[in-house]
Amino acid sequence: MVQAVAMARNEDGIGTALGILKQQFGERCQTGMAIREQHGHTTTWIVNQPPDAVIFAHSTEEVSAIVKVCAAHGVPIIPFGTGTSLEGHVNAPAGGVSIDLSQMNEVLEVNAGDLDCRVQPGVTRMALNTHLRDQGLFFPIDPGADASIGGMTATRASGTNAVRYGTMKDNVLSVEAVMANGEIIRTASRARKSSAGYDLTRLMVGSEGTLGVITEITLRLQGIPEAISAASCSFPTIEAACEAVMATIQYGLPVARIELLDALVVKGVNAYSKLSLPETPLLLLEFHGSDAGVAEQAATFGELAAEFGGSGYAATTSAEERTKLWQARHDAYWAMLALRPGCKAVATDVCVPISRLAEAVGGANAKAAELGLIAPIVGHAGDGNFHASLLLDMDNLDEVARAEEYVSWLNDRAIALGGTCTGEHGIGQGKRPYLLRELGGAVEVMGAIKRALDPDNIMNPGKILPA
């Protein structure tokens, strides 16, 4: 495990606040070690730092009541959705209270005519799309995991559809949030545009719980496309596949998804999902539109891919075949784990300008080989975002040290190429050292905002900003 920075605990304040909160919430205030550890880190290599209590909230008013008690006694608050974040976002380095929002899981309103809806933060993306399906609508942001909408908003999530539909920042119209003093605010209306003051919605999206607790989200929706076509194409090298991605974006082809799998990932996917893809770098694509439109888009990509050595190109509109292909992509994590049984997969992500993608991915593969690491790569290649998943024996301290060197190198390399240390995982605890290198003095501006809105530093402390 990688050690996380510990912070001073307010023992007296925590004890007093927990006494009050236990009286208010009874059995919904849990202090057992198992549930506390579950609400610390769940999917990272950062050491677990559990909260002192977990409270299951049922309404915005309850969240406000919890925050007011914690604020009065200087107790940290850590919002929790489904725990799928990857950079230690839900750890509690100074102890405190984890507010579990999973039971606030109602779709409050769907305005089909306006293509928007209001949801509570505990609604998951799959549950939302199931609710919307009969109205011919869907919510396009797909990070892979069945994450909660609140967590996706807080971490500015994106995923496979980002190349066409954008990220959470492009699809959240407004949020309701409980601030550090317990006050409830709404950041905007349902209008599609506004010039009314500061853009507080964008400030809250991606704030990772450090400014407030998001308790309601108004989302932009899309109509389910008339036709969908999925395609796959193999390439002789990573560089050739990335060049094909660059050409596709520069050509202006409106792909909905364009995913990159390196040869090692394809090998794992073949074994795990019982496929027979050529074990060379692979692009998976999806096209949305009319029947004629998706056919034209698929044919155009085939011509572009051929210029870069693409082979085995196949496109299909069959729902069954599309589902099988994309399920294999979403199962890539488990497929990679099977490449080295008994080891842990530690995922990290970076994002670079499209024109530097081939250089970045090729360099990442070469660096892993130099350090003797197994680090298969998958990527949301259409927006320059890719993930390296290190397969590690966590008991091998030398191997873990080499992995830390690799992660540090990869983040610095992405920044040097004009990119970012994280395209979608967020900063949390794990990426904090790289934020200052990437943004310089802008980090102090973030700190000023944090101090103004949360002067006692109780909202998810120890995340995003340097100590």
**Is 174:187 a contact under the CB 8 Å cutoff?**
yes
Spatial distance between the Cα atoms of 213 and 180, rounded to a whole number of angstroms = 8
Decide if pLDDT at 134 tops 70: yes
Which regions of the chain carry the CATH code 3.30.70.2740?
Answer: 342-425
Domain 342-425 has CATH 3.30.70.2740: yes
Which regions of the chain carry the CATH code 3.30.465.10?
Answer: 107-223
* Model confidence pLDDT, tens digit, residues 436-466: 999 999 999 999 999 999 999 999 999 999 8
pTM: 0.94
Instruction: Look at residue 466 in the predicted model and tell me its pLDDT.
Output: 86
Instruction: Look at residue 37 in the predicted model and tell me its pLDDT.
Output: 96
Instruction: Look at residue 204 in the predicted model and tell me its pLDDT.
Output: 98
* Model confidence pLDDT, tens digit, residues 343-401: 999 999 999 999 999 999 999 999 999 999 999 999 999 999 999 999 999 999 999 99
With a pLDDT cut of 70, the percent of the chain lying above it is: 99
pLDDT (mean) for 403-422: 97
Spatial distance between the Cα atoms of 144 and 125, rounded to a whole number of angstroms = 10
Spatial distance between the Cα atoms of 435 and 417, rounded to a whole number of angstroms = 15
Instruction: Look at residue 273 in the predicted model and tell me its pLDDT.
Output: 92
Cα distance from N-terminal residue to C-terminal residue, the chain: 21
Structure tokens at 66: 């919890």
* Model confidence pLDDT, tens digit, residues 177-225: 999 999 999 999 999 999 999 999 999 999 999 999 999 999 999 999 9
Q: Is 129 exposed, middle or buried (0-12, 13-18, 19+ CB in 10 A)?
A: middle
Confidence of residue 41 (pLDDT cuts 50, 70, 90): confident
268 Cβ partners below 8 Å, 6+ apart? 332, 335, 336, 338, 339, 376
pLDDT (mean) for 100-104: 98
- What fold characterizes domain 107-223? 3.30.465
- Phi/psi at 402 (nearest 5 deg)? -65, -35
* Model confidence pLDDT, tens digit, residues 301-339: 999 999 999 999 999 999 999 998 888 888 898 999 999
Tell me how far CA of residue 45 lies from CA of 154, 268, 347, 391, in angstroms: 21, 22, 9, 11
Residue the block writes with tokens 């989200």: 217
Decide if pLDDT at 1 tops 80: no
With a pLDDT cut of 90, the percent of the chain lying above it is: 93
Decide if pLDDT at 42 tops 90: no
Residue the block writes with tokens 């390399």: 413
Look at the alpha carbons of 418, 352, 416, 41 in this order and tell me if their dihedral is positive or negative.
positive
- What fold characterizes domain 227-334? Alpha-Beta Plaits (3.30.70)
pLDDT (mean) for 415-426: 96
Structure tokens at 398: 């030398």
Confidence of residue 145 (pLDDT cuts 50, 70, 90): confident
Instruction: Look at residue 40 in the predicted model and tell me its pLDDT.
Output: 94
